[in-house]
């Protein structure tokens, strides 16, 4: 019968930095002189810290760019005797006019003619929003250079599904979004046209402008009497 001798391997050792005594290599301090055996080392080192600082700076710049891009458009309120809507700040009034029974307002970016906004309201409405949208789509199909998207129904605030219809198209490098809807208990038909040189601007305008673009129901242009008709005598001041 034979027996195997069991041998135990001695733990590795190292020399103390101060007293030069052989100590356990895993010891954090020398058991004789108490000297710490490992110097404090930063977790990342100066190179890692520099990389982190650069990454944080880039993240801040990217965040600012995204926030700036998402809020690039500021709006101003427009109100006339017949119409009310929001327009991008800096747009200029085109001073458009229309016959009695309708009202129109148009605005354009003076530095980019493709960026524009036009609101037209007509009484009586003249068909449903859907029929007007499809009629416009049919007209655009015969226009050379137009890239037309399908007509879709949308819901404006305060209205259910199908309360408005939207038509998107491109022409001469500009993007257009046209909304057709009714106002004043379906007595007034509204057409809102937005255009921009960049699709991103149209997307921003679509989120803010349609819900604000409305006719003033008792506006003078929607009155049964044409205020500009010279055959209608003016009221006496007495």
In this prediction, residues 82-94 reach a mean pLDDT of 93
Supply the DSSP string of 149-169, one letter for each residue. Answer: PPPEEE--TTS-TTSEEEEEE
pLDDT at 237 over 50: no
Distance CA(15)–CA(22), nearest Å, equals 5
Residues 6+ apart with CB under 8 A from 55: none
List phi, psi (to 5°) of 59. Answer: -60, -40
Give residue-wise pLDDT tens across range 2-29.
Answer: 555 555 566 777 777 677 777 676 666 7
Distance CA(184)–CA(222), nearest Å, equals 11
In this prediction, residues 86-91 reach a mean pLDDT of 93
As a CATH number, domain 75-222 is 3.40.1000.10
221, 96 in Cβ contact below 8 A? no
Q: Is 210 buried (19+), middle (13-18) or exposed (0-12) by CB count in 10 A?
A: buried
Distance CA(87)–CA(226), nearest Å, equals 28
pLDDT at 188 over 80: yes
Q: Is 17 buried (19+), middle (13-18) or exposed (0-12) by CB count in 10 A?
A: middle
Give residue-wise pLDDT tens across range 30-57.
Answer: 777 766 655 545 555 566 667 666 666 7
Domain-wise residue ranges, the chain: 75-222
pLDDT value of position 155: 82
Pairing of strands 13-15, 75-79: unpaired
User: What is the end-to-end Cα distance of the chain in Å, rounded?
Assistant: 140
Q: What percent of the chain has pLDDT over 90?
A: 41
pLDDT at 185 over 70: yes
Task: Classify 2 as helix, strand or coil.
Answer: coil
* Dihedral over alpha carbons 206, 100, 94, 163 (to 10 degrees): 0
Give residue-wise pLDDT tens across range 145-181.
Answer: 999 999 999 887 666 555 799 999 999 999 999 999 9
């Amino acid at each position: 019968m034979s027996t195997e001798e069991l041998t135990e391997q001695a733990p590795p050792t190292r020399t103390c930095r101060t007293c030069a005594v052989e100590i356990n290599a895993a010891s954090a301090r020398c058991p004789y002189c108490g000297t710490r055996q490992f110097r404090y080392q930063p977790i990342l080192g100066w190179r890692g810290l520099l990389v982190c600082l650069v990454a944080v700076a880039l993240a801040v710049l990217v965040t600012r760019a995204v926030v700036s891009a998402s809020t690039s458009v500021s709006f101003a309120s427009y109100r006339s005797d017949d119409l009310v809507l929001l327009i991008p700040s800096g747009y200029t009034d085109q001073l458009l006019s229309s016959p009695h029974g309708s009202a129109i307002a148009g605005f354009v970016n003076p530095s980019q003619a493709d960026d524009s906004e036009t609101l037209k309201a007509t009484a009586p409405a003249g068909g449903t929003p859907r029929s007007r949208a499809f009629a416009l789509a049919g007209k655009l199909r015969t226009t050379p250079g137009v890239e037309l998207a399908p007509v879709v129904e949308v819901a404006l605030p305060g209205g259910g599904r199908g309360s408005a219809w939207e038509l998107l198209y491109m022409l001469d490098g500009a993007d257009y979004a046209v909304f057709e809807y009714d106002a004043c208990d379906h007595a007034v038909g509204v057409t809102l046209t937005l255009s921009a040189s960049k699709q991103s601007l149209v997307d921003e305008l679509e989120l803010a402008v349609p819900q604000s673009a409305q006719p003033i129901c008792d506006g003078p242009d929607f009155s049964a009497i044409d205020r500009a008709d010279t055959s209608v005598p003016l009221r006496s001041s007495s």
